[in-house]
Amino acid sequence: MIKYFIRSILTIGLLVILSSCSNELVPWQTKNMTGYMPDLSFTLTDANHNKMVMAGDFKNQVVALNFGFTHCPDVCPMSLHQLQSALSKMDEVQAKQVQVLFATVDPQRDGIPEMKAYTENFGRTIGLAGDRASLIILAKRYKVGVEFGKVGEDGHYDVSHSSVTYVFDRNGAARLLIRPDDTPQAIADDLIRLVTEK
C-alpha cells in the first residue's frame, strides 16, 4: 500500500514536470530572438502627443517596434497594417496591452506633424521622431539597415530599410521578430502569449 502511494506521488510529480516542460518548449510562431538583441532603450519624441518619451514609459506593456518613413510607398504601410490586423484578432483587453511604435529612419522629412498624421491611420500606433543622431543610434542598436537613395530634381529620394518588427516583453526585453510573411493570426497568438506571460 505504501509502495503504491509513493509510486502515485512520483507519477503525479513527473506528470507536473513534463507538463511544465512541454509548455516551455512550445515553439513561437514568429521568430524567437530572446537573448539575441538588447533591451528596449531610447529617448525620442512621441509625435502623437508632442512630448519626450523613454523606453521606460512603456514598461508593463508589450511593445512592437517598427522602423520606416512616411514617404514609404509599400513596406511601411504593409507592416503597420499587418500589426493592426493581428491586434484585431485579440480581445480588446489584450490588444490594449500592446503598444505599436513606429520610429522614423528619415528625420529630415518626418517631423512631428508628419509622423502624427501618418501614424493616426494605424490605430493606436505612436510615431517616434527626433534628431538624426538619436534615430541612427536606435536603428543601429537593433541592426536596422538604412540606405538613402539619390535626391532627384524634385527633392524626392528613396530610403531602403529593414522590414521587420521587434517585439519586447513587459520588462523591455527583446523577445520576437515579426517578418513580412508572418500571418496576423500567428502574430496575434504570440502577442497574446507575451501579454499573458507571468
Can you tell me whether residue 33 is helix, strand or coil?
Answer: coil
Residue burial 169-187, b: 16+ Cβ < 10 Å; e: rest: beebebbbbbeeebebebb
pLDDT tens-digit map of 76-114: 999 999 999 999 999 999 999 999 999 999 988 999 999
Instruction: Using the predicted structure, report yes or no on whether residue 58 has a pLDDT greater than 70.
Output: yes
Grade residue 72 by pLDDT with cuts at 50, 70 and 90: confident
DSSP string, 59-91: TTSEEEEEEE-TT-SSHHHHHHHHHHHHHHTS-
Instruction: Using the predicted structure, report yes or no on whether residue 25 has a pLDDT greater than 90.
Output: no
Grade residue 16 by pLDDT with cuts at 50, 70 and 90: very low
Give the rounded percent of residues in the chain with a pLDDT score beyond 90: 67
Higher pLDDT, 88 or 24: 88
Higher pLDDT, 39 or 146: 39
pLDDT tens-digit map of 103-160: 999 988 999 999 999 999 999 999 999 998 898 889 899 988 777 777 777 777 777 6
Grade residue 24 by pLDDT with cuts at 50, 70 and 90: low
Is the CATH code 3.40.30.10 the one for domain 28-195? yes
pLDDT tens-digit map of 103-113: 999 988 999 99
Can you tell me whether residue 182 is helix, strand or coil?
Answer: coil
Q: Quickly tell me which residue has 515579426 as its cell.
A: 178
Separation of alpha carbons 155 and 139, rounded Å? 24
Per-residue model confidence (pLDDT) at position 146: 74
Give pTM, 2 decimals.
Answer: 0.84
Grade residue 19 by pLDDT with cuts at 50, 70 and 90: very low
Grade residue 1 by pLDDT with cuts at 50, 70 and 90: very low
pLDDT tens-digit map of 159-174: 766 789 999 999 999 9
Can you tell me whether residue 128 is helix, strand or coil?
Answer: strand
